[in-house]
Amino acid sequence: MHPLSAVPWYSPWEAGLFSLGLFTVLCLGFIIAMLMVSSWIGERRYSREKMRPYECGVIPTGTARLRYPVPFYLVAIFFLLFDIEGAFIFAWAVSFRDLGWQGWLEILFFIVMQMLGLVYVWKKGGLEWGPMRKRV
C-alpha cells in the first residue's frame, strides 16, 4: 500500500503486471511483423481461376442464392411459436404447486390463446403444403 492513501497502489514494475505487459507487447509485435512480412513477400497474381469460389472440386454453376417457397418460412415461424409454448408449459409444470390456482388459470389462458392461434393458422391455410386449389 502507498503510505499516503488507503487504496492499494500497484507499481508497474511488479512481477505480474510487468511480465503480462511485456508478453502482450511482444505478441502484438510478432503478429504485426508476420502480417507485414507476408504482405511484402506474398505472391500477387490474380486470375479468373484463382478468384472463382472453391466448392470441393465441383465447378460452380448458376447462382448460390436459392429461392425457398414461403411455406418453409411459415413452418419455421409456427415451430418457434408453438415450441415456446412447450417451454412455458414445462416451466409452469416444474413450479405448479407454488403457483396455485392463479398459475393454473394463467396457463389455461395461455393454452387457450395458443389453440385459437392454431385454429386461425389452420383456417387461413398456413398448414397446407399441397398445391393450392382456386376458390370459386
pLDDT at 79: 84
For residue 3, is pLDDT > 70? no
pLDDT digit string, tens, across residues 71-113: 778 778 888 887 888 888 898 899 888 988 899 999 999 999 9
DSSP state for residue 66 in the 8-state scheme: -
Structurally, how many domains does the chain consist of? 1
Domain interval for residue 111: 70-124
Q: Is residue 29 part of a domain?
A: no
Q: What is the CA radius of gyration of the chain?
A: 32
Residues with Cβ within 8 Å of 50's Cβ and at least 6 positions away in sequence, in order, are none
Q: Is residue 20 part of a domain?
A: no
CA distance 52 to 48: 6
Q: Is residue 37 part of a domain?
A: no
pTM metric for this prediction:
0.44
Residues with Cβ within 8 Å of 59's Cβ and at least 6 positions away in sequence, in order, are 52
Give the cell for residue 136. Answer: 370459386
pLDDT at 105: 93
Number of alpha helices (DSSP H) and beta strands (DSSP E) in the chain: 4, 0
Tell me the CATH number at 85: 1.20.58.1610
Q: Is residue 44 part of a domain?
A: no
Q: Is residue 82 part of a domain?
A: yes
